[in-house]
Amino acid sequence: MSMVVSSIGQGLLWAILGVALFLTFRILNFPDMTVEGTFPLGAAVTTAAITRGVSPFLACLLGFIAGALAGLLTGLLYTKGKIPILLAGILVMTACLSINLRIMGGSNISLLGKQTIFSNHFLESLPKYFDSVFVGLVTVAIITILLMLFLQTELGQAFIATGDNPTMARSLGINTDSMTIMGLMLSNGIIGLGGALISQSNGYADVNMGIGIIVIALASIIIGEVVFGELTLNQRLIAVTLGSIIYRFVILIVLQLGFSTNDLNLLSAIILALCLMSPVLGKKLKLTKILTQGGSRNAK
């Protein structure tokens, strides 16, 4: 039972990354590699701040700001420097590796004995692992609701249009460069916040903690899409969180089968590859019919 609760908690905390990546991957329509740098950047800034006595909540905000600044850099390299987005992301991600080492003053920082957002009377009174469930649920719910509202504003609609058809967006007077930079800042800011929360949940920050996180975040998005099929934009945002929890269950099952945690990145990649290939596989193996039984509208 505790492993199931722990998986839900981890699923909710990591869903923050999936929701953030949704903004660039699904709305702006490009894969943003910066996240592999901004996740440990958020963690590094937050843990470094906490060990210097900054309040955990303020430290989380600093993690968000640091992530947003890295996103700004990628955005400027892409829109003004005309560097292809994949490369721009990789450049900032690589730069973050050195920056993170400088911020942390070493390859990791432990939060042992420090005040974190989890050192709170209410959270400590909860049964084991329920603290991550609570923090994850509250954070991902707030972020999802704010994003839903944002996407319904005139600015949010211009942001969606930018990803949907940049030529049209420009001809309607939308500054697509600004929209792209804003999207990258928002997305990486939230990823930084994710790094801030997850490092506090783990009790440490490590310079290598960003490796493979784009795959995990993408897996939440893709699993949500594969499982829940065609949805409205708001429903798709919620599906990311559910996809993230399902992903954690899949990992839990695979670990129960006897794989070691060293295999996790390999397993994540395999799970994501299978999900991405699901339309092809579904056709080949006639799986779609079986999978969509039970009322899903995704019968294609």
Q: Name the site residues for other proteins (rule: CB under 8 A).
A: 149-150, 152-155, 157-158, 160-161, 164-165, 167-176
Query: Residue 110: in which H helix or E strand, if any?
Result: strand 108-110
| Shortest reach from residue 165's CB to other proteins, in Å | 5
Residue 236 C-beta: closest distance to other proteins, Å: 11
Nearer to other proteins, 47 or 79 (CB): 79
Half-sphere exposure of 245 (CA within 13 A, CB side): 15
CA distances from 22 to 35, 50, 186, 215, 263 (A): 12, 29, 11, 13, 26
Which CA distances in Å does 153 have to 21, 28, 149, 160? 20, 17, 7, 10
Rounded Cα gap, residues 253 and 226, in angstroms:
19
How far apart (Å, rounded) are the C-alpha atoms in residues 101 and 99? 5
Residue nearer to other proteins on the CB measure, 167 or 256:
167
* H-helix segments, 203-277: 213-228, 233-256, 264-276
Q: How far is the CB of 174 from other proteins (least distance, A)?
A: 7
What separation in angstroms does the CA of 193 have from each of 56, 60, 83, 140, 178?
12, 6, 26, 11, 22
- Which residue number, 166 or 212, has a Cβ lying nearer to other proteins? 166
Q: How far is the CB of 151 from other proteins (least distance, A)?
A: 10
Instruction: Output 94 or 157, the one with its CB closest to other proteins.
Output: 157
Q: Nearer Cβ to other proteins, position 173 or 294?
A: 173
Shortest distance (Å) from residue 141 CB to other proteins: 20
Residue 116 makes CB contacts below 8 A (sequence gap 6+) with 50, 56, 200, 203
Q: How far is the CB of 169 from other proteins (least distance, A)?
A: 7
Q: How far is the CB of 79 from other proteins (least distance, A)?
A: 13
Helix (H, G, I), strand (E, B) or coil at 108: strand
3-state secondary structure of 81: coil
The nearer residue to other proteins, 175 or 265, going by C-beta atoms, is: 175
Instruction: Name the phi and psi angles at 75, rounded to 5.
Output: -60, -40
CB of 175 or CB of 298, closer to other proteins = 175
What separation in angstroms does the CA of 35 have from each of 20, 93, 233, 244, 247? 9, 7, 22, 17, 19
